Amino acid sequence: MRKSVKRENLLKNSAGQYRYQFNWVGGGFNDIWARNLKEFRSELKRQFGNSKVDMDTLHKATPNGARRWDAAGNMMCW
């Protein structure tokens, strides 16, 4: 018998924003805190100008996913 899958809650800050994680076209990755996709796009343009995001990789983070994402970034930087 198959066990039920436990879904993890999405990561949300005190301002009600979700952590959107994404990869850049051509390599690299980043994240932006935003309430929705419209705010994400606005913040993306404000912070990074016309840089191209690989939209297939864009997702809202879970606490566990964010920890793994940060750990991978720390390994590349140190």
Distance of alpha carbon 20 from alpha carbon 46, whole angstroms: 15
CA 48 to chain centroid: 15
Whether 21 contacts 29, CB under 8 Å = yes
Strands of the 53-60 sheet, one edge to the other: 29-34, 18-24, 53-60
How many whole angstroms separate alpha carbon 40 and alpha carbon 72? 23
What is the residue type of 18?
Y
Domain ranges of the chain: 18-72
- Residue 34: predicted pLDDT: 98
Unique residue bearing structure tokens 């016309």 = 50
The string of pLDDT tens digits covering residues 52-71 is 999 999 999 999 999 998 88
Q: Model-level pTM?
A: 0.84
